[in-house]
Amino acid sequence: MNNLLSHTDKPIIWSISGADCSGGAGIAADIKTAHVLGCELCHLVTANTVQNSQQLVAVNATDVTILQQQEQILITDKPPQVIKIGLIANAEQLDWLVNLLVMLKSKKPEIMVVYDPVGQASVGGGLSSLSPAQLAALLPCIDLLTPNLEEAQQLTESVSEDMTELSRRLTQLGVKQVIIKGGHGGGETSVDYAYSANEQRAYQLVSPRIVTDYSHGGGCTFASALASFLAHHYLLRDAFTLAKAFIQQGLKQHQGKLGYYGAFEQTQWPGKLADFPRVITEISDQSPPLPAFNSLSIERDNHQGLGLYPVVDSVEWLARLMPLGINIIQLRLKGLSEQALRDEISRAVELSQQYDCQLFINDYWQLAIEYGAYGVHIGQEDLIDADLHAIAQAGLRLGVSTHGCYEFLLAQQLKPSYLAIGAIFPTTTKDMTGQIQGLNNLRQILQLATDIPVVAIGGINLERAPAVWQTGVDSLAVVTAITHAENPEQATRDLQRICSGKKDLYQFDSVKASCS
Ligand SMILES: Cc1ncc(COP(=O)(O)OP(=O)(O)O)c(N)n1
Ligand SMILES: Cc1ncsc1CCOP(=O)(O)O
Ligand SMILES: [Mg+2]
């Protein structure tokens, strides 16, 4: 029997929330959400509520001894990666919960706790009468709090409507990350605001407002979708983006249906660009608006994409690889003096003109403009400082690094010449801790791509290249697969062959040589 009780491949979430007998909100919403998002959900029911689509009649709090028994029976058998909290019915439950979270976090600090502070039922009526002073003990245990504007005001005992101010106040109360939901306001759009105290960064997402009354349990669904994506190890910004798309997709199921407060519909893992929010940042919402960047030349590659994209750190490497028929290449210089940078970049541009090769300069966008390079590649951090108008006006192409769906959507809004996604696999070239995408996430992000070419980068070698190429990316960018190869010219030819798209030709020479 013990064997049967053992482990699941799916991440485990504990939902500590109330049961809604009408099946819309609370535990019902959490179970449906976690199920379609590939998680297992254990539920510790804090109250058996009596409600329907019209009214809340009673909140029957569960005896704490039952919650303790449930905790005990689950703790070794189905330990949680993420705990999602909804309704806390009374002060005894709150005490039990705080003790439980403190104990769990002392044993396993990586457990994430998401709290959706439901005080009022959406059908009307109070679910919990806990005061902000009572809840103060819980807030330092919370990794992600998901209040709406009113709940954020109540918890902070403030009348401010400024999401920035409210989220800062909530983090001062001990919460690590906050998402304030703007869904209940009026207007054509719904804007949600996230703030991470660790990163000291805010994220803002906007979606068109979907008119429907089928939204009972939408708040619980949003919090449990966040819990599910966090359980799959997405970063806050990506979990936020995916959860907002999940909500949009669910609301669209019953778009236009009014007059009956129906249960929110949980559907599937979000994968359609139309359901994803727009990212609001200073960069993407510049005034005057940015023009689209010039396109790359891909005709030479038989419409099979850009092909192989070597990323190298000297003119010597450029001179060695360009004669091999490289279509696109990058000079990635680090730690050189101004004069050395100028020498390398000017020589590199000359060489690229000789070989008619699309040369991108990494980081140094001013020098790339000054010496007339074909394009410039910049990272997310560089986006803030780089003068994107100047790059576009000079006619340079632009490549932008992205790590996950949030950054991909943000960069895609800038209409660059290509988008890079990385690191696909662990790499020794650069510290990419916490940013490894894997092939599944690459495939998911590719579903959001428009007609802008996509480059995959990070840990791509000869063995892994065919699988990455088959995801449908337009280009494979590599550093060490070439520069650390025993025979860099042969490795280049092998990789070029993989990128030529002829998938039956994956019997390349250097792999055979290394296996024999
Ligand atoms: C094609 C390509 N993709 C990603 C990167 C990484 O750029 P960035 O994030 O700016 O990091 P550094 O390369 O500057 O360390 C790249 N260079 N090329
Ligand atoms: C620059 C960079 N950006 C994301 S991963 C990476 C390094 C790629 O190097 P390698 O191909 O050797 O893994
Ligand atoms: Mg850079």
Tens-place pLDDT, residues 66-112: 999 999 999 999 999 999 999 999 999 999 999 999 999 999 999 99
427 assigned ligand-binding residue: yes
Residue 397's pLDDT is 98
Q: List the chain domain ranges.
A: 12-280, 299-515
- How far is C-alpha 365 from the chain's CA centre? 27
Neighbours of ion ligand 3 (CB under 5 A): 363, 379
pLDDT of residue 304: 62
Residue 420 CA, closest ligand 1 atom number:
3
Instruction: Give 140-151 pLDDT, tens digit per residue.
Output: 999 999 999 999
What atom in ligand 2 is closest to the CA of residue 422?
Answer: 4
Q: Is the pLDDT of residue 504 over 50?
A: no
258 annotated among ligand-binding-site residues = no
311 ligand 1 Cβ < 6 A: yes
Q: What is the dihedral of CA 395, 458, 479, 411, to 10 degrees?
A: 10
For ligand 1, say whether the CB of 455 is within 6 Å of any of its atoms. yes
Reported as a single tens digit per residue, the pLDDT across 117-136 is 987 766 666 667 788 999 99
Instruction: Give 430-457 pLDDT, tens digit per residue.
Output: 999 999 999 999 999 999 999 999 999 9
Q: Ligand 2: distance of its center to the CA of 431 in Å?
A: 9
Return mean pLDDT, the chain: 92
CA–centroid distance, residue 214 to ligand 1 (Å)? 44
396: confidence class by pLDDT, cuts 50, 70, 90: very high
Which strand (E) or helix (H) includes residue 210? Answer: none
Closest ligand relative to 308 C-alpha: 1
Provide the ipTM: 0.98
Q: What is the pLDDT of residues 179-205, one digit of tens each?
A: 999 866 678 899 999 999 999 999 999
Determine the 3-state secondary structure of 217 from DSSP: coil
* Type of residue numbered 349: V
Residue 3 scores a pLDDT above 80: no
Q: What is the predicted pLDDT for the residue at 347?
A: 98
Query: What is the reported pLDDT for 302?
Result: 53
Matching CATH number, 12-280, of 3.40.50.1820, 1.10.8.10, 1.10.10.10, 3.40.1190.20: 3.40.1190.20
The CA 362 to ligand 3 mean position distance, Å, reads 6
Residue listed under structure tokens 């009526």: 125
What would the CATH number be for the domain defined by 299-515?
Answer: 3.20.20.70
75 Cα: distance to centroid of ligand 1 (angstroms): 43
450 is in an annotated binding site: no
**pLDDT, average across residues 491-503:** 86
Q: What does the pLDDT average to over 359-366?
A: 98
Ligand with an atom nearest the CA of residue 332 = 1
Q: Place 512 in a pLDDT band, splitting at 50, 70 and 90.
A: very low
Please tell me whether 332 is known to bind a ligand: yes
For residue 362 and ligand 1, the question of a CB distance below 6 A is answered with yes
The dihedral region occupied by 232, where left means phi > 0, alpha psi between -120 and 50, and beta the remainder, is: alpha
Place of tokens 């028929």: 325
Specify the pTM. 0.94
Instruction: Please say if the pLDDT value at position 270 is more than 50.
Output: yes
Among the residues of 80-162, which ranges form H helices? 91-107, 132-135, 149-156
Ligand 2 atom nearest to CA at 483: 12
Residue 36 has a pLDDT of: 98
Distance of CA 379 from the midpoint of ligand 3 (Å): 4
Q: Identify the three-state secondary structure at position 402.
A: strand
